Amino acid sequence: MAETKKVGTSNVTPVVIQAFNDKKLQSQTGKFTLPINPENYAMSYKVEVDQSGGHGNSGSDIKYKKTPPEQLKLEFIFDNTGTVMGNTLDGTPVQEQVRNFMTVTYHVDGESHKPHYLKVMWGDNLMTGDVQGFNCMLTQLDVNYTLFARTGEPLRAKLTAQFTNYVEQEARLQNRQDHRSPDLTHVRTVEFGDRLPLMTQKIYDDQSYYLKVAKANGLTSFRRLKTGANLVFPPIQES
């Protein structure tokens, strides 16, 4: 699913891209401010599922696989024609603007031996969870030179940049811990071959609760689970 939000180049808050050497974004190495704001930005969200069905079935059973990271797409221009109002890099050659942008976002850092981790800032437009800014890495960049001087020097370039979101490991582990919290009610659909003790282990990190889960679901036998049935895993209160 792609979501496009129109903002407008007249937005006085500029797009600022900060570059870091580390995933925790504590060691900043540089930044780049877009000289001309994009008119809009697009966010892409995707859920991957397994739709494989049995032989001879016209339909398919959808099973969740994973949620890939969000993606941010920005389209913007670098211009040196002297005709664009508010262009903060007017007078700077377009190729130099492109090089400076790529130094911050694309080139491999000499110390970390990888491209920089980035935070794309644009006021309140871009967020990572509840935190301002989009934490990401540049994953694709297209540069299209569209206007030239008589000498052949580029006067304008249109850039399309795609950034892929990431969550720093500690935050990702905390998020995973929250989703497995024994203080929450969970509902899981039984798949072929599922065993209640193992399902309980995945939810609570402790399979010894399986008898409580069986009782909560009115199961007469925890060894025979009906494929396709929904099981409730209630909050566990220690006795």
- Higher model confidence: residue 160 or residue 221? 160
In a domain, 238, yes or no: no
Q: Are residues 121 and 189 in the same domain?
A: no
pLDDT in tens, 55-84: 555 555 677 777 788 999 999 999 999 999
Give the closest residue to 231 by CA, choosing from 218, 223, 209, 220.
Answer: 218
Judged against a pLDDT cut of 80, whether residue 130 lies above it is answered with no
* 168 or 233, which is more confident: 233
Under 8 Å between Cβ of 77 and 36: yes
The residue among 172, 189, 224 that closes a domain is 172
> What is the 3-state composition of the chain as percent helix, strand, coil, each rounded to the nearest 5?
20, 35, 45
Q: Within this chain, do residues 83 and 167 fall inside the same structural domain, yes or no?
A: yes
- For residue 194, give the DSSP letter: -
Which carries the bigger pLDDT value, residue 160 or residue 54?
160
Spatial distance between the Cα atoms of 83 and 155, rounded to a whole number of angstroms: 11
Residue 19, pLDDT score: 97
Q: What is the mean pLDDT of the chain?
A: 84
Cβ atoms of 207 and 186 within 8 Å: the answer is no
Tokens coding 216: 């909560």
8 A C-beta contact, residue 1 and residue 96: no
Q: Which of 31, 234, 183 is nearest to 116 (CA)?
A: 31
Tell whether pTM > 0.75: no
Average pLDDT of the residues in 145-155: 97
| Residues above pLDDT 90, as percent of the chain | 44
pLDDT at 181: 55
Check whether residue 187 and residue 153 sit in a common domain. Answer: no
Q: Per mean pLDDT, which of 64-68, 109-113, 150-154 is the most reliable?
A: 150-154
Residue 188: domain span: 181-233
**Same domain? 16 vs 110:** yes
- Say which CATH number the domain at 215 has: 3.10.350.10
- pLDDT, one tens digit per residue, over 169-198 is 445 444 544 555 555 678 888 888 888 988
Boundary residue ending a domain (120, 150, 172): 172
Please answer whether residues 50 and 65 qualify as being in contact, where contact means their C-beta atoms are separated by less than 8 angstroms: yes
Tokens 């797409």 sit at which residue?
73
Tell whether 102 is covered by a domain. yes
Contacts of residues 129-132 at CB distance under 8 Å and 24 or more positions apart, as own/partner, are 129/171
Take residue 18 and report the two structure tokens written for it. 């900060």
- Residue 24 has a pLDDT of 85
Q: Number of folded domains in the chain? A: 2
Within-domain flag for 239: no
Q: For the segment 195-236, what is each residue's pLDDT rounded down to a tens digit?
A: 898 888 888 878 888 898 998 898 888 888 888 888 988 887
